[in-house]
Structure 1
Amino acid sequence: MPDLQSPRPPLLDPARGKQLALDAYEADFWQRYTQIHGRDSWKLERGQHFVEQNSPGREALGRGDWESAIRLLDVRRESLRKDGEQDRRQRTVFHRVRVVEQPFTPYIQWELHSLRLNAEYGEAIRVIDATKAARFETGGLLPELVVIGGETLYQVVYTDEGVLDGGVRFTEPEMVTGWEDAIRALFEEGEDLSSYFEREVAPLPPPRLTTE
């Protein structure tokens, strides 16, 4: 059963971490991720709107072209297949918790379609309503986070427009474990993406889009 009384995790004080610009963050992330073996990773996604770079489907969404935004998701399949094979070789599972608010933003509706592909290739993904995450949000909305192999925590940094802009790396065991436990608790309380998608997303008409 999920621990509904789980304490709020440690304060993410940037002074306790290392600020990384975008290129440094991406290089550091992948260097550490490819070295883990037999340990799982956890990601928490809280924001309801992001602008993903180098994503044909996301670019189509930004143009207001829903049909292409969904169709172009398939260009990710080969990359996801390779990532899934690498994870199996490393005996690791990437867990993802997607916090959602309803009614969905166009981005969230599109991203849930995108995440279905991630799940096909090995990610363990659950969805949780924002009301159930509220116990962790007494000081503000939860941040965007990734915990790699139980050893490294990243707070992922975005611009005001929702564009990835780098990260803050934390390695103190108390910090890493505290946030991994919080993400795990939300994961255990969440609903598997497959059943959630069929009930809440599949019946929806295309969102009303405006070009960005």
Structure 2
Amino acid sequence: MIDLHPPRLDRAQGVRLDQPAYSADFWQRYTRLDRRDSWKLERGQHFVEQDSPSRAALGRGDWAEALRLLEGRRAGLREEAEQDRRLGTVFHRVRVVEKPFTPYIQWELHSLLLNAEDGGEDIRIVEAGELHALEVDRPLPELVVLGGETLYEVVYTDEGVLDGCVRFTDPQLVDDWQDLTRALFERGEELSSYFAREVAPLPPPRLTTDEE
């Protein structure tokens, strides 16, 4: 079990951005990283990605088409990886998973494997059972720490649709969450080995109405 203490995150101390403003703010800051790394913590087990044809195929129950469409992302991911190399930055990601996997998680782990293989992301997996000491009051948030200067708490609707963020720039808060995410990352398992053992052997997921 991972025994850490998550910092307090008070949305009243941040700036609420809707989805277009979040996207613009994120990419404006990302292009100025200049040899500074970033960290992402993903905790939720079901999301709706409205602009992903592969995610839409999953929602229709067409697993083969969902995987085929994911493969089409490789060229674009290589371009993004080259941009990161020019900036001298690495995007580190911690993906928390619960078992049995939701259909979304099974699909996302396939997607993340491409991010690691072609997109240059450094991704590790932490199983939710390791987080009991951190989640006494509530689950860990969805968040991104960008370049050690900006913290985004990513906000979703009840249905799992991305709904912008709350942006924080207090240096101590940013440092504290970056430190916690890095600690989780260091204790996680490399995606490639986890995927080979836990994901690759699985049959296609079976969706319920709530998971479409």
Structures share fold, TM-score greater than 0.5: yes
Task: State the shift of 1:133 in Å.
Answer: 2.1
Mean CA deviation greater in 163-172 or 69-78: 69-78
> Identity, % of aligned pairs?
69
Look up the match of 1:202. Answer: 200
Within a 5 Å distance, the mapping from 1:112-127 to structure 2 comes to 112-121=109-118, 122-127=120-125
TM-score, normalized by length of structure 1? 0.95
Look up the match of 1:129. Answer: 127
Look up the match of 1:14. Answer: 11
Look up the match of 1:179. Answer: 177
Task: State the shift of 1:5 in Å.
Answer: 4.5
Contact 2:125 2:188 in 1 (8 A): yes
* Counterparts of 1:49 and 1:12, CA distance in 2: 22
Contact 1:64 1:210 in 2 (8 A): no
Mean CA deviation greater in 152-161 or 66-75: 66-75
Q: Secondary structure at the match of 2:144?
A: strand
Contact 1:63 1:210 in 2 (8 A): no
When the two structures are aligned, how many residues end up with a matched partner?
Answer: 209
Moved over 4 A (4+): none
Aligned: 1:51 with 2:48: yes
* Counterparts of 1:103 and 1:136, CA distance in 2: 21
Look up the match of 2:67. Answer: 70
Aligned Cα root-mean-square deviation (Å) = 1.3
* Counterparts of 1:14 and 1:210, CA distance in 2: 33
- Which structure 2 residue ranges, 5 or more long, are not aligned? none
- Which structure 1 residue ranges, 5 or more long, are not aligned? none
TM-score, normalized by length of structure 2? 0.95
Aligned partner (choices 121, 139, 143) of residue 141 of structure 1: 139
Q: Secondary structure at the match of 1:96?
A: strand
Aligned partner (choices 18, 22, 27) of residue 25 of structure 1: 22
Task: State the shift of 1:85 in Å.
Answer: 0.4
Task: State the shift of 1:134 in Å.
Answer: 2.3
Task: State the shift of 1:33 in Å.
Answer: 0.8
